[in-house]
Structures are given as structure tokens and as C-alpha cells.
Amino acid sequence: MNLLLEGEESNRLIFRKVSKTDFNAWLPFHQEPLSSQYFAGEIFEPQVACQNWFTKVFTRYKNNLGGLNALISKDSHQLVGMCGLLIQTVDEIQELEIGYSILPEYWKKGYATEAAKKCKAYALEHKLAESIISIIHIDNIGSQKVALNNGMHLDKTTTYKGIPVHIFRALLYPNR
């Protein structure tokens, strides 16, 4: 089952695999304190946090656990963010998640919603799951708005990797 959207496009974005050469373009994400305020675990120096991020991305690729795609602007050909389908275990249940993170200079421009909608459509088209989730810190209002804009609803509140989160869900086949 291929969970990567490599070669897919949306109105403004091209999806491709993350490359090691994306490191410097992604570093500003980790230099902005607001980017990591909702992540679990220790706070690392930006270079280390970025390296940890890339290690996780490539580990997912290697182990067929889905993964984030680099989001490339069709206009500027610049990296805008990352978004993808991820296999996650929440409350001991394996789920398919849409994960998204956008570089700070592109916040509040609709890129996360556009990319998340493309991921949802891809999951539906390829019949990847009965439903799809987004795992969002309970205080991350911006990401919650993206999930709502993607047709998701608040399914439950739980703890994930030690942090309080809302699980937003969309049924891909609601009439079944």
C-alpha cells in the first residue's frame, strides 16, 4: 500500500518525497518557537530538532509507515511545508492520519487545508482506510481549523505520546 503522494498535485502545490537537500529550507520551521509548542518531548536546538524530524521522515519511508511529502509551490518552486498520510497507533488502535506542518512564512494562506484535502481525497480514491484522523494538541486552534475545513469532526479527546490531543476524524465511506 503506497501512502506517499509522490507526483500528486493540488491547485498550488506539488507533492514529492522529502529529500536530504530540503534540510536548510525546513530549518526555519524549527527556528520558530510557535512551530514546536504543541509537540511532545524535549525542546531541542533548531538544528537538532530538524535532524530528528528528518530522521523520523526517512524511518517512516524505510518501514512503509507512510510519511510526509514535501509541498512545493507551483509558482515559486519553494518548499512550503510537509503533509502526508501516516500510520499511527492511538489508544492501541492503528489509524491512518493526515499530518501537516507549514513553514511559518506560509502560515494562514490555506496551504495546510489544501494539502490535507488532497491527502483525504487520495486516501478515498485509493481506498486506504474506512476513516482518517488528524491528531491535534488540544490548544492548537489553527490545526483544528484545518481539520474542520477538511470535513473532519472532533471524535474524541485522549492522550497521545504524553500530551492531551483531540482526534479529528472523517469517515471516508459514510454510507456503508
Residue 35 — very low, low, confident or very high, per pLDDT cuts 50/70/90? Answer: confident
> Does any domain span residue 24?
yes
Query: What is the span of the domain harbouring residue 28?
Result: 13-171
Residue 33 — very low, low, confident or very high, per pLDDT cuts 50/70/90? Answer: confident
Q: Give me the CATH number covering residue 141.
A: 3.40.630.30
Residue 77: which region, alpha, beta or left (left: phi > 0; alpha: psi -120 to 50)?
left
Instruction: Quote the percentage of the chain above a pLDDT of 70.
Output: 96
Q: How many independent structural domains does the chain possess?
A: 1
